[in-house]
Amino acid sequence: MRDCKKAELVKPAPYFKIAIGCSNRAFYDEKHHLYKIAEEVGIEIQDGYITEKCDYEGDLEEIVIYRQEKAEPFTQAVIASYGIDRDELPTGANVHVSIF
């Protein structure tokens, strides 16, 4: 199970945020973790289910997983890997994994 510092539902545009307490360099390990899960459940990264956001220096700081029917097994596997109960994730809310 991966370590997350905070998991919360953010409103008004509902999305579920998973905050990781790590450096920018270590956050690339989280990216590889998410991409490995995608590969295991048969999701192609280039299909538009994942977007990476960088800060002004070009360092990766957030990964957004878009909730769509085909990507639902991927979303469920991601939240399970962080030890989050799937009932905490509202229907249709995108998942944002970011640096705390």
When divided into structural domains, the chain yields a total of 1
Asked if pLDDT for residue 97 goes beyond 90, the answer is yes
* pLDDT, tens digit (0-9, with 9 covering 90-100), for 37-83: 999 999 888 888 899 999 999 999 999 999 888 888 999 999 999 88
Q: Is 37 within the bounds of a domain?
A: yes
Q: What percent of the chain has pLDDT over 90?
A: 43
Q: Is 74 within the bounds of a domain?
A: yes
Residue 15 near residue 90, CB atoms below 8 Å: no
Q: In the 8-state DSSP scheme, what is residue 99?
A: E
Q: Is 53 exposed, middle or buried (0-12, 13-18, 19+ CB in 10 A)?
A: exposed
Name the residue range of residue 26's domain: 6-99
Q: CB-based contacts of 81: which residues, under 8 Å, 6+ apart? A: 1, 2, 33, 37
